């Protein structure tokens, strides 16, 4: 990494004519040529990123796509910032403003790597934040749909259902059996669930693709619903046949979302499932009652049938447990986001401190024309903040593209399901403010040194012909 970072500067020094280095114009022209070469390489990488998802499949291709996208955008950054600084200088009216834009452009060679780090940190925060927040929002809504029953009950054995089920139905409780058969599809385990014809499924079960009257087909035992993972991996769609077993084939009526499940899954009518697999256990049930009656029903069931407390899980507890697992899964994401910001801010600080000794010949003439040291210090901070702001603006589309790639490319290849992409503008504003703060803090120390610099040190610059 150090070798790669130093090659560009070493090559610049080697290729410049011997009398050219003192001339800032020569350095600027060579820098512009370097930016163009960097942008050309970045453009080729972005072109490769556009081709990879079309030409190749698989998780490795998804990561190649991400790498080409991120590195290509980073290599384009110096030229884009240089062009924006040139445009700002042309639009500026006052001489000091024109100098500030020109000075900003002149400092890009020394700050380009730090600004690339900031670009990647911002884009990563936006992209990963979009993925995690979209996942959380979708996951919570999906849980609300899936966990429609107010109370879930698991009996010690199947024989208990013969007594418990009639007892519940006499009290007006809608009993939804949760029964499944373990099958295999293309060598992988597959769960086939049987459901009764109830409004709970029709009203709450999310279908992402379906034939007309899909739930009627399930109730009649003529159709089957499959999860998105199975549909994507086996390239299946509504209307296609599904070979559940050697002597068991059904027509696919629809595809449903099944976030978090790594295995294929299917849903058919309970009567059809029992006709094919009559020996499956009958222990788990979803109970539909008024929410304020769920606790009383639990107590009555425990007393009437001597059931343990562990036999019941209420809807709220199940949601809380699921969300707690979800939050722990992504807690490391927040730490990594802060770490990337810290690395980018430290890179800017070290770059500005490294450039400090080279800044005096550029600042001394401005000071000699009457601009005070304190004002120059404020302009130094302003320059860094402007560069960070421009970088943040360019990071937004890159971050959104990264978020889309994680949701639509990598997530699909890794897990077999795709999440909808949700935008969070307030989160972008927070990240934008953090970028400006990081740039201001990084520039504070060099600016403080400039404000406290002795006039004699600035005058000493004029003893040199630079």
2 part of a folded domain: no
Question: In this structure, are 247 and 351 located in the same domain?
Answer: no
CB 451 within 8 A of CB 378: no
Neighbours of 2 (CB within 10 A): 6
pLDDT by residue for the chain (466 residues), tens only, comes to: 778 767 766 776 777 666 655 444 445 555 566 678 888 889 999 999 889 888 888 888 889 999 999 999 999 999 999 999 989 989 988 989 998 898 888 888 878 888 898 899 899 989 988 988 888 888 888 888 788 888 999 999 888 899 999 999 998 999 999 999 999 998 889 999 999 999 989 888 889 999 989 999 999 999 999 999 999 989 999 999 999 988 899 999 999 988 878 889 999 999 999 999 999 999 999 999 988 888 899 999 999 999 998 899 888 888 888 888 888 877 777 777 778 878 888 888 888 887 776 777 788 888 889 889 999 999 989 988 999 999 999 999 999 999 999 998 888 888 888 888 999 999 899 889 988 988 898 888 888 988 888 888 888 878 765 5
Question: In this structure, are 124 and 242 located in the same domain?
Answer: no
List strands edge to edge, sheet with 284-288.
174-177, 284-288, 151-154, 312-314
Residue ending a domain, among 228, 256, 288, is 288
CB 379 within 8 A of CB 451: no
Question: In this structure, are 47 and 123 located in the same domain?
Answer: yes
11 part of a folded domain: no
308 part of a folded domain: no
Residue ending a domain, among 259, 288, 317, is 288
**Residue 57 structure tokens:** 């499949």
373 part of a folded domain: yes
User: What is the end-to-end Cα distance of the chain in Å, rounded?
Assistant: 33
Distances (CA, A) of 3 to 67, 190, 192, 247, 342: 20, 51, 57, 64, 23
Residue ending a domain, among 262, 288, 314, is 288
Question: In this structure, are 363 and 425 located in the same domain?
Answer: yes
How many degrees, rounded to 5, is the angle at CA 204 between CA 202 and CA 206?
90
**Residue 31 structure tokens:** 């820098």
Question: In this structure, are 111 and 161 located in the same domain?
Answer: no
Question: In this structure, are 162 and 220 located in the same domain?
Answer: yes
Please state, in angstroms and rounded to a whole number, the distance separating the CA atoms of residues 328 and 332.
8
Query: Which phi and psi angles does 203 have, rounded to 5°?
Result: -85, -25
Which segments within 83-187 are labelled E, that is strand?
Answer: 151-154, 174-177, 179-185
| Structural domains counted in the chain | 2
CB 153 within 8 A of CB 311: yes
225 part of a folded domain: yes
Question: In this structure, are 361 and 232 located in the same domain?
Answer: no
Please state, in angstroms and rounded to a whole number, the distance separating the CA atoms of residues 35 and 385.
21
Question: In this structure, are 189 and 266 located in the same domain?
Answer: yes
Question: In this structure, are 265 and 160 located in the same domain?
Answer: yes
Give the H or E element holding residue 210: strand 207-210
296 part of a folded domain: no
Question: In this structure, are 160 and 47 located in the same domain?
Answer: no
Question: In this structure, are 121 and 155 located in the same domain?
Answer: no
Please state, in angstroms and rounded to a whole number, the distance separating the CA atoms of residues 29 and 339.
36
Question: In this structure, are 200 and 216 located in the same domain?
Answer: yes
22 part of a folded domain: no
21 part of a folded domain: no
Containing structural domain, residue 406 = 28-143+328-463
């Amino acid at each position: 990494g150090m070798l790669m970072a130093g090659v560009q500067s070493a090559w610049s020094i080697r290729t410049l004519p011997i009398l050219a280095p003192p001339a800032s114009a020569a350095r600027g022209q060579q820098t512009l040529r370097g930016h163009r070469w960097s942008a050309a390489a970045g453009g080729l990488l972005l072109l490769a990123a556009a081709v990879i998802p079309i030409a190749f499949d698989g998780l490795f291709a998804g990561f190649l796509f991400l790498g080409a996208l991120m590195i290509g955008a980073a290599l384009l950054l110096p030229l884009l910032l240089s062009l924006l600084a040139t445009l700002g200088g042309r639009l500026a009216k006052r001489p000091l403003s024109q100098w500030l834009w020109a000075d900003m452009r002149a400092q890009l060679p020394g700050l380009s790597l730090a600004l690339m780090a900031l670009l990647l940190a911002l884009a990563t925060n936006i992209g990963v934040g979009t993925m995690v927040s979209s996942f959380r929002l979708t996951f919570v809504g999906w849980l609300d749909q899936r966990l429609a029953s107010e109370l879930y009950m698991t009996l010690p054995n199947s024989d208990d259902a013969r007594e418990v089920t009639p007892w519940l139905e006499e009290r007006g409780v809608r009993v939804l059996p949760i029964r499944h058969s373990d099958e295999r599809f293309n060598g992988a385990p597959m769960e086939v669930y049987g459901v009764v014809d109830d409004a709970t499924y029709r009203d709450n079960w999310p279908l992402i693709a379906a034939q007309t009257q899909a739930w009627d087909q399930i109730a009649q035992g003529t159709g089957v619903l499959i999860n998105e993972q199975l549909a994507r991996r086996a390239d299946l769609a509504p209307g296609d046949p599904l070979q559940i077993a050697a002597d068991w084939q059904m027509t696919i009526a629809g595809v449903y979302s099944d976030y978090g499940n790594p295995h294929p899954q299917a849903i058919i009518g309970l009567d059809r499932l029992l006709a094919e697999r009559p020996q499956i256990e009958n222990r788990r049930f979803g109970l539909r009652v008024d929410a304020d009656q769920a606790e009383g029903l639990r107590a009555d069931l425990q007393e009437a049938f001597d059931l343990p407390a562990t036999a019941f899980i209420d809807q709220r507890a199940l949601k809380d447990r699921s969300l707690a697992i979800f939050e722990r899964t992504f807690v490391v994401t927040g730490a990594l986001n802060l770490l990337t910001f810290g690395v980018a801010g430290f890179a800017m600080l070290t770059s500005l401190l490294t450039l400090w000794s080279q800044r005096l010949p550029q600042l001394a003439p401005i000071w000699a024309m009457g601009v005070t040291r304190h004002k120059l210090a404020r302009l130094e901070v302003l320059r860094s903040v402007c560069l960070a702001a421009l970088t943040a603006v360019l990071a937004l589309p890159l971050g959104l593209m990264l978020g889309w790639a994680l949701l639509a490319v990598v997530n699909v290849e890794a897990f077999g399901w795709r999440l909808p992409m949700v935008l969070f503008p307030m989160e972008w504003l927070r990240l934008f403010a953090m970028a400006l703060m990081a740039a201001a803090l990084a520039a504070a120390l060099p600016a403080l040194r400039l404000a406290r610099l002795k006039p004699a040190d600035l005058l000493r610059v004029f003893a040199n012909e630079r």
